[in-house]
Structure 1
Amino acid sequence: MPLHSSGIAIGGAGLLKSKGDRMQKREGPCVGTKGFRAPEVLFRSVHQGTKLDIWSAGATLLYFIIGRTPFAGDPDQNIKEIVKLKGSEDLWEVAKLHNRESSFPADLFDTKSLSPVKLRDWCSRNTRKLDFLEIIPQSLIDLVDKCLTSNPRLRISAEDALRHEFFAPCYETWRKQKLHRLRFSQESQDLGSTLTIPESSQSCSIVNKVQVAN
């Protein structure tokens, strides 16, 4: 069964190739560390925004979780590896979004459409340290999954990523530290006020010293 998109079967790559030959579509750069590049980079889109860094951050966290580069190989192989996680429909939609259908690996057209899998299940199959995976909180898995959203338009923003529940303990710690500093500052000010010698007392002290000197 060939790859489907929106219920319409794609018969093969030949039509796309001939169409691409006529249109001479522009290509964007495909730079970055292998295995950490976003789909729009792998498809050589000319529209590459800051969301590609969110994908790279997610891939870096995924590397931390499973202990190896998550998506290895050249751009075509990277796309095939991502398809195993995100599904072929997701990647095909990204290719269409960026007008880069011709960059979609040709051999994926003639295979059965692959469904996405849950990230934790994918990690279980690909990790080098299963014991470590078992202690990874679900909140981190969810954050990584949102960072690795195929469509950059739907991918989580940097601001929302920092507000994610995974970072809640950090914010709570910072809040407590801030309150502690404020209390310490206030107590220091109060103590300073208590130890300050009144102006009248200072004057008396000076007069006494002058009298003793005389």
Structure 2
Amino acid sequence: MEQPLPKSWSIHTRPEVIAKYEILERVGSGAYSDVYRARRLSDNLIVALKEVHDYQSAFREIEALQMLHNCPNIVVLHEYFWREDEDAVLVLEFLRTDLAAVIRDAKKKEGGIRVGEIKRWMLQILCGVDACHRNMIVHRDLKPGNLLVSDDGVLKLADFGQARILMEPGFDGDDDNHQLPVEQNTGYQENVTPPLDVVADAHSLPDQGFNKQVVEDTNREEYLRQLVELKAKRHAVDETDKETNINDGYSSCLATGTISDIDDDPLKSSYSYDAEEGGDGRNGALTSCVGTRWFRAPELLYGSTDYGLEVDLWSLGCIFSELLTLEPLFPGISDIDQLGRIINVLGNLTEEVWPSCCKLPDYKTISFAKIENPTGLEACLPNKSADEISIVKRLVCYNPASRATTMELLNDKYFDEEPLPLPVTELHVPLTKNNHDEDSPGGWHDYDDMGSDSDFGDFGHFKVENTGSGFSMQFS
């Protein structure tokens, strides 16, 4: 009796892959994936081959990218290979730099990033996230390192390994029992239901500012109507105790950080551990252990498993703030420190600012001393215009239902006023992604240390008190 072939852990042994691609070099490696630069033999196109070692992550990324395959601001999935007992290999377009490199490079130049450039980067990000949200896809790991940039200045969302497709806010829209084809898939687009119409890509709009008419009025009105309904449903869920909203057993302060051993991954994952969701039949529960700490919404830090698209909106606010100041808005060194930094700026999280916050799983477990005079976001954005501050404030707020949607921001007057968004061709694109200084303290090359590590000691003094249902911790 013939012995079955051993499972392949190396892309170099995959005959279906090497028959079509010449693997040039490994450019990134992490806990759940390895990324290679390769050449397609049929036409010499340079691509990225992403070998994903985690089934669930691979499934989510393929499913999301299939739904978004015609969006100009989403990284292109050319094809994928997935056989029984093999890791998935995703063939993606190769983009050599990202928004993190744009920010790093700008810090070296006098004057930073011009306002017209900032507006064009923002518009492209908003168009990409809007396409996700129109299809009820929550990315859950938006950060500058996952916003890839082409040589000609086109920005594209990447790394959908933590993405989820939602039916309703806070509820899982996919089924972990779904099966993708295990045979090589080279023509997936014809088998995919076309996604909803998306906003025209920002880089294709007229150079004289953002054209509000790029979306037909009927589509825009219908979209806004749906958003209002979803917000109303979200509010109704917040006001109702749900037996299905059970904590998945992983605290919001679970240790999740894993460090990449190569810092030049064009499709770098956050490598945060994503606990298995709904594994015990609780299909409505999501995990709070997603994303990268600096861009993680407060509801996730407090352990929420019932959240929606709004967690991406918080991340957008942090990214926009960093584009404006070239510094991270909340660079926490632990989950508790992250919460503390947010509270020092926005003030204490109370039912006055978010009526349903008391229902967050860890809200009564973790508390902070009262902040009498929070610094406010204005102090974090010195010398910025009222409109720029307003954009960030509409995203970085406690109550998820109060955060501005991508469509609302795309229609904001900020993008119609002077200075107008620059054409994509005039954007400054760094020559390489790996251009940070070796002697520079901190910075984006330490980015992978921003996982969740629950290092309470890093935050300072805290007091533990016994309660009727367990304990609580107060941080000063």
Q: TM-score under structure 1 normalisation? A: 0.54
How far 1:112 sits from its partner (Å)? Answer: 2.7
| CA distance 1:105–1:142, shift in 2 (3 Å) | farther
2: CA distance, partners of 1:165 / 1:117: 27
**1:155-170 mapped onto 2 (5 Å cutoff):** 155-169=403-417
5+ long unaligned stretches in structure 2: 1-244, 249-286, 423-476
What are the superposed Cα offsets for residues 66-98 of structure 1, whole Å, 9 maximum, x if unpaired? 322221222221111110111103589659436
| CA distance 1:90–1:164, shift in 2 (3 Å) | farther
2: CA distance, partners of 1:92 / 1:78: 22
How far 1:101 sits from its partner (Å)? Answer: 5.3
Q: Secondary structure at the match of 2:296?
A: coil
2:321 pairs with 1:62: yes
| CA distance 1:114–1:36, shift in 2 (3 Å) | farther
Selected match of 2:311 from 52, 67, 90: 52
Question: Which residue of the partner structure matches residue 26 of structure 1?
Answer: 247
Selected match of 2:360 from 100, 115, 120: 100
How far 1:105 sits from its partner (Å)? Answer: 6.6
Question: Which residue of the partner structure matches residue 118 of structure 1?
Answer: 376
Selected match of 1:75 from 324, 335, 352: 335
Selected match of 1:85 from 345, 348, 351: 345
5+ long unaligned stretches in structure 1: 1-23, 125-133, 175-214
What are the superposed Cα offsets for residues 85-121 of structure 1, whole Å, 9 maximum, x if unpaired? 111035896594362253467351xx23444443222
2: CA distance, partners of 1:95 / 1:76: 22
| CA distance 1:173–1:66, shift in 2 (3 Å) | closer
2: CA distance, partners of 1:141 / 1:79: 21
From the CA coordinates, give the structure whose radius of gyration is larger. Answer: 1
2: CA distance, partners of 1:87 / 1:51: 20
| CA distance 1:141–1:61, shift in 2 (3 Å) | same
Matched-pair identity in %: 21
CA contact (8 A) 1:89 1:113 kept: no
CA contact (8 A) 1:39 1:94 kept: no
Q: Which amino acid aligns with 1:39?
A: P
1: CA distance, partners of 2:290 / 2:351: 19
CA contact (8 A) 2:350 2:357 kept: no
**1:166-185 mapped onto 2 (5 Å cutoff):** 166-169=414-417
How far 1:122 sits from its partner (Å)? Answer: 3.3
2: CA distance, partners of 1:80 / 1:91: 18
| CA distance 1:105–1:91, shift in 2 (3 Å) | farther
Question: Normalized per residue, which structure has more strand?
Answer: 2
- Higher relative contact order, structure no. (Cα contacts within 8 Å, ≥ 6 residues apart): 1
CA contact (8 A) 1:36 1:55 kept: yes
What are the superposed Cα offsets for residues 38-93 of structure 1, whole Å, 9 maximum, x if unpaired? 11121121112111111111101111223222212222211111101111035896
Aligned length, in residue pairs:
139
1: CA distance, partners of 2:309 / 2:358: 15
CA contact (8 A) 1:86 1:116 kept: yes
- Superposition RMSD on alpha carbons, in Å? 3.2
Q: Secondary structure at the match of 1:49?
A: coil
Q: TM-score under structure 2 normalisation? A: 0.26
What are the superposed Cα offsets for residues 130-174 of structure 1, whole Å, 9 maximum, x if unpaired? xxxx2x32211111111101110111111111112211238x889
